Amino acid sequence: MNSKYKKIIVTSGPTREWIDPVRYISNASSGKMGFHIAKAFISHNIDVVYIHGNTLEKYAYVDRAKKIISVETTIQLRDAVLEEMEEDTLLVMAAAPADFRPIMTAEHKIKKDNREGAKKGLLLELEENPDILQQVSAFVKEKGWKNAVRIGFAAETRDLEKYAKEKLEKKGIDWIIGNYVSQTEGFGEKDSSVRIYNRSGVVKEIGPSSKETIAKELVQFLMSL
Ligand code: CTP
């Protein structure tokens, strides 16, 4: 299929931020949506670069991807995306980067007892991670690239439209795919539905269906623009 893009970058899965050598901060993303989006683009014969965090193993390898890059932290994900970004590229940020990281990673396992001055419990000091889409948008603007399109996701537990629109603006992106999530919905294997927004509002709704079907319809929609 003819495409106005030379390359599609799809990011997928959660990132991890290490507290000590055996503990990390992460989230419940499985990588399933990003995996199926990457697969759907490949079936349109476009080069796909698949950049993934710690997905479930079955979502870590995408057959016939031009390149597969495995990352662990949000900063590594940011660096990999910036490295791959170029003119005539479509970036689909389906990854769920950890928003915060510990200000330092302990060299040794933190022990429950014997911590100096320790009371019960553990206070963790976190700092904010970079917003990858925001940084990519700034980078694209600086380069003056007109055809380097960014798509984000907004997984929300309430006020989907409000947050989706805010994220469109804040991250300087072209499209946002919104969906509701909870412990039982939106994450992992369950069927869900998504709404595609641009600055004028909802443009399309897909689902409820499996993530595989949603990914196919989403890619079809993006290719038709
Ligand atoms: N994202 C990003 N960089 C981050 C966090 C998220 O680029 N540090 C991207 C995600 O890949 C997704 C979009 O931004 O495409 C929205 O992610 P989400 O976690 O919903 O938004 P946040 O900006 O982290 O806002 P909040 O957690 O406050 O809802």
In tens, the pLDDT along 117-156 reads 666 788 999 999 999 999 999 999 999 999 999 999 998 9
Look at residue 184 and tell me whether its pLDDT is greater than 80.
no
Is residue 201 very low, low, confident or very high in pLDDT (cuts 50, 70, 90)? confident
Closest residue by Cα to residue 218 from 205, 208, 202: 205
The CATH number for 203's domain is 3.40.50.10300
* Residue 42, in any domain of the structure: yes
For the residues 65-84, what does the mean pLDDT come to?
98
Are residues 44 and 3 in contact, defined by beta-carbon separation less than 8 angstroms? yes
* Residue 214, in any domain of the structure: yes
Closest residue by Cα to residue 86 from 170, 195, 5, 16: 5
Which residues have C-beta atoms less than 6 Å from ligand 1?
74, 93, 95, 97, 99, 129, 131-133, 152-155, 167, 171
Q: State the closest ligand 1 atom to the C-alpha of 176, by its place in the atom list counted from 1.
A: 15
* Residue 119, in any domain of the structure: no
pLDDT score recorded for residue 84: 98
Whole-model pTM over 0.85 = yes
* Residue 112, in any domain of the structure: no
Look at residue 212 and tell me whether its pLDDT is greater than 60.
yes
Q: What is the pLDDT of residues 29-57, one digit of tens each?
A: 999 999 999 999 999 989 999 999 999 99
DSSP labels, 14-30: B--EEEETTEEE--S--
* Residue 114, in any domain of the structure: no
* Residue 219, in any domain of the structure: yes
- CA 152 to ligand 1 centroid distance, Å: 8
Are residues 44 and 219 in contact, defined by beta-carbon separation less than 8 angstroms? yes
d(CA 30, CA 76): 18
Number of domains in the chain: 1
* Residue 120, in any domain of the structure: no
Q: Is 27 a catalytic residue?
A: yes
Q: Which domain holds residue 85?
A: 7-106+125-224
Are residues 11 and 81 in contact, defined by beta-carbon separation less than 8 angstroms? yes
Eight-state DSSP code of residue 109: P
Are residues 201 and 218 in contact, defined by beta-carbon separation less than 8 angstroms? no
Report the nearest-CA residue for atom 14 of ligand 1: 152
* Residue 1, in any domain of the structure: no
